[in-house]
Amino acid sequence: MQWRNRPDVTRWLLRTTVSADDLRERLMGEPDPRDHSFVVLLGEERVAMGYLEVRDGMGQDGGREPVGAEALLGWNISPGHWRRGIGTAICAELLAIAFGELRVRRVEAGCFADNVGSWKVMEKCGMRREQHGIEDSWHAELGWVDGFTYAMLRREWEDQRAR
Ligand SMILES: CC(C)(COP(=O)(O)OP(=O)(O)OC[C@H]1O[C@@H](n2cnc3c(N)ncnc32)[C@H](O)[C@@H]1OP(=O)(O)O)[C@@H](O)C(=O)NCCC(=O)NCCS
């Protein structure tokens, strides 16, 4: 997975460098019950990663409902495999895991506004742009730039599947 730290891959990532040890630990270390990330294999080649972290929703103290109610999603694809539908397929699979298996009630994912490929992937999977943050995101080369937050509810995903 040496492609993970290539500049064309990290251009729009928040975490620009991940050490091989960190990656190994995340994928093969002690399982974290909130981390449902996966690697995508094409034959024997590791061509992509999907990230899914279960987290608590926002809510007043005392209620149990927000505990584990949400998931945060993400994806990275090896540059040799861009624009072949892998990003869209990963996003669809992450939604299926989050809503179908883990039964969270809402998912969210964020991206820099200029990362067109990433927000197109989300829109193709039926996620909704809920926030356009004006200059809310720091980019090492570009300075303060716009960011988007996308989201979807389980009932929307179920409605979409029923159509
Ligand atoms: C962004 C990324 C996930 C897109 O993945 P992908 O597998 O190329 O996406 P898909 O092939 O499923 O394409 C989905 C749509 O986005 C479009 N698209 C993909 N990359 C694009 C780009 N750089 N600019 C404009 N449109 C793009 C595709 O043409 C397609 O649209 P269409 O169906 O209207 O033709 C991939 O380029 C990537 O991993 N980049 C580096 C890491 C990264 O930025 N991760 C996301 C962080 S938020």
102: its two tokens: 């883990």
pLDDT along the chain (163 residues), means of 10: 93 93 87 94 96 97 94 97 98 98 98 98 98 98 98 98 93
Pocket of ligand 1, candidates 75, 95, 124: which has the most ligand atoms within 8 Å of its Cβ, to mutate? 75
C-beta of 99 in contact with ligand 1 (< 6 A) = no
| pLDDT reported for residue 26 | 82
| pLDDT reported for residue 146 | 98
CA gyration radius, the chain: 16
Residue reference for tokens 């990330």: 37
C-beta of 64 in contact with ligand 1 (< 6 A) = no
CA pair distance 71, 129, nearest whole angstrom: 16
CA pair distance 53, 131, nearest whole angstrom: 20
C-beta of 115 in contact with ligand 1 (< 6 A) = yes
31: its two tokens: 């399982």
Q: May I ask the CATH architecture of the domain 2-162?
A: 3-Layer(aba) Sandwich (3.40)
